Amino acid sequence: MTEPTTDTAPTPVSPTPVSPVPPMPQHPPAAPAVPAPPAPVRDRRVLRAVARWTVAVLVCGGLGAGTALGITSMERTDVPGLATENDGRWDYPKLSLPALPKDTPRPFSGGSPEEIHHTDLRKLLLPAPAGATVDKKLTGGWATPQQYSAEYGKEKRAELELALKDYGLRHIAARGWTMPDGTTSRVYLLRFDSVGTAEAFKDDEIGIGAQPGVPLEGTDTLALDSAWSSTGQAPFTSTYVFAESAPVGAEQTRQAYVIAGDTLALIVQSRKGEAAAVPFHQTVALQNQLLG
């Protein structure tokens, strides 16, 4: 920083000479400063508009970075964990897409017309968030058709298991956990031999659409979740989100399906009283991104 200058001593004033004629100034007085002409009204308006848009872009950028679904601009090898905020989001770890086997394309590239996930399906499962207690039966490894069908009503389980065999199911990977507030979560990834087979199972056997199709065990009032927004989901994927409406009984259940190429995901969250929407939507969005 430049040191401030000190004031110079004032110039001594000479006594006024006795003369009938006033002395002439030694230097002509400086011309008064002429103010710069004001900017044209149009220029000022343009400058103000630019400033307003600049602030708006910065604010929107800041807000977008903090929302649970603002994840479309990321690299496809990096999925942010969307750390816990005051709105109830969970603290997921930073997520990254696993490396592909040599010379294999990603499911939605031009080199994969069947939209196949060549990566180990277990590596595409969403990990449990911080503070969770992992389900000892669903630890992130392979699951059986019986474990998957147990999510549905007893009268439909045998039928679903037979359908999985008929549709050539390849693998099921699953993970479950319970949060300190009592919310339980379960995620199942079902891989078929192609996107066509996965879509057919979704439509013909589960019946997903405006309605959740085959009801989960203990639920019969699930309806489309009006609070869900598909903004931010991975391209070429579809997400169907449902919430149990009143009367919900002792606990509320939320359910979602993600169809991504050859893989169908089922995501279920339940909690005594009410299952919060924010962490459920966050969980669905992150699992969607991992499959895209």
Q: What is the rounded CA–CA span in Å between residue 95 and residue 289?
A: 10
Mean pLDDT of 136-152: 98
Per DSSP, the three-state class of 102 is coil
pLDDT reading at 110 higher than 80: no
pLDDT band at 102 (very low <50, low <70, confident <90, very high): confident
CB-count burial class (<10 Å; 0-12, 13-18, 19+) for 1: exposed
pLDDT band at 82 (very low <50, low <70, confident <90, very high): low
pLDDT reading at 104 higher than 50: yes
pLDDT reading at 243 higher than 80: yes
Domain-embedded: residue 269: yes
Q: N- to C-terminal Cα distance for the chain? A: 53
Q: How many CB atoms are closer than 10 A to CB 251?
A: 17
Q: Is the dihedral of CA 152, 154, 160, 161 positive or negative?
A: positive
Domain-embedded: residue 50: no
Q: Where residue 247 sits, what CATH number does that domain have?
A: 3.40.1000
pLDDT reading at 78 higher than 80: no
% helix, strand, coil for the chain, step of 5 = 25, 20, 55
Which of 4-13, 76-85, 227-236 shows the lowest mean pLDDT across its residues? 4-13
pLDDT reading at 15 higher than 80: no
Residue showing tokens 């078929």: 192
Cis peptide before 15 (omega within 30 of 0): no
pLDDT reading at 280 higher than 90: yes
pLDDT band at 79 (very low <50, low <70, confident <90, very high): low
Domain-embedded: residue 26: no
Do residues 190 and 144 touch, judged by C-beta distance below 8 A? no
pLDDT reading at 59 higher than 70: no
pLDDT reading at 73 higher than 50: no
Q: What is the rounded CA–CA span in Å between residue 161 and residue 154?
A: 12
Mean pLDDT computed over every residue of the chain:
79
Residue showing tokens 């848009």: 53
What residue numbers bound the domain in which 117 lies?
99-291
Domain-embedded: residue 3: no
pLDDT digits (tens, 9 = 90+) for 220-233: 789 999 999 888 89
Do residues 68 and 93 touch, judged by C-beta distance below 8 A? no
Provide the domain count of the chain: 1
Residue 28 amino acid letter: P
Give the pLDDT score at 271: 96
Give the pLDDT score at 103: 81
Mean pLDDT of 286-290: 96
Per-residue DSSP letter, 219: -
| Nearest alpha-carbon partner for 125 in 70, 188, 182 | 188
79 vs 98, 119, 248, 267, CA distance in Å?
11, 16, 34, 18
Name the range with the highest mean pLDDT among 21-30, 98-107, 165-174, 243-252. Answer: 165-174
Domain-embedded: residue 78: no
| Nearest alpha-carbon partner for 237 in 78, 122, 71, 65 | 71
Which of 51-65, 171-185, 261-275 shows the lowest mean pLDDT across its residues? 51-65
Domain-embedded: residue 60: no
Domain-embedded: residue 30: no
Q: How many CB atoms are closer than 10 A to CB 88?
A: 14
pLDDT band at 277 (very low <50, low <70, confident <90, very high): very high
Q: Which stretches does DSSP call E strand in the chain?
A: 78-79, 95-96, 133-142, 171-178, 184-191, 222-224, 237-244, 251-260, 263-272
Percentage of the chain modeled with pLDDT above 70: 71
Domain-embedded: residue 59: no
